[in-house]
């Protein structure tokens, strides 16, 4: 289907029409004021817009967090597997439920490796939690 036109009569509704380039059939869509408001709130743009260079426009504009959340990180200078755990760090990690412990351990390892930290201690874990905004968890 090929977009043909969009009309907004001013009463909160909108209409859009499309046609099939092969058979010539036309289809129209009419949205009531609530549907029009929903479409607008979602950031959907009906009618002949080329995609932006960055994918996931709506998701990117909705995420609140780190400014560099969508920036590709440089390759690790230290392999996460070369990071070791102190005895106290391992004891603290044992308090994490087993079903998520592997993921939590990986997060701490990668965080430490990115910063050139060779041993994960409770103090390093506290610093990582603060840096990632997880103090209250």
More confident site: 121 or 97: 121
Which of 99 and 88 is assigned the larger pLDDT?
88
pLDDT digits (tens, 9 = 90+) for 8-56: 877 888 888 888 988 989 888 888 888 877 777 777 666 655 555 566 6
Beta strands (DSSP E) in 1-137 are: 2-7, 14-19, 26-31, 84-85, 119-120
Question: Is residue 115 predicted with pLDDT exceeding 80?
Answer: yes
Calculate the average pLDDT of the chain.
Answer: 79
CB 4 within 8 A of CB 19: yes
Identify the pLDDT of residue 110: 92
Residue 67: is its pLDDT beyond 70? no
Q: How many CB atoms lie within 10 A of CB 123?
A: 11
Distances (CA, A) of 21 to 24, 50, 58, 63: 6, 19, 30, 38
Domain ranges of the chain: 2-48, 80-132
Superfamily holding 80-132: Proto-chlorophyllide reductase 57 kD subunit B (1.10.8.550)
């Amino acid at each position: 289907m090929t977009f043909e036109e969009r009309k907004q009569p001013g009463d909160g509704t909108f209409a859009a029409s499309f046609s099939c380039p092969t058979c010539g059939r036309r289809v129209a869509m009419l949205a009531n004021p609530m549907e029009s408001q929903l479409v607008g709130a979602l950031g959907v743009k009906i009618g002949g817009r080329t995609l932006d260079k960055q994918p996931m426009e709506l998701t990117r504009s909705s995420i609140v967090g780190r400014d560099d959340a969508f920036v590709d990180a440089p390759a690790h200078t230290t392999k996460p597997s070369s990071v070791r755990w102190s005895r106290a760090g391992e004891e603290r990690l044992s308090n994490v439920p087993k079903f998520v412990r592997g993921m939590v351990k990986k997060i701490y390892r990668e965080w430490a490796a990115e910063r050139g930290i060779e041993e994960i201690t409770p103090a390093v874990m506290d610093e990582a939690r603060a840096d990632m905004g997880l103090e209250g968890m």
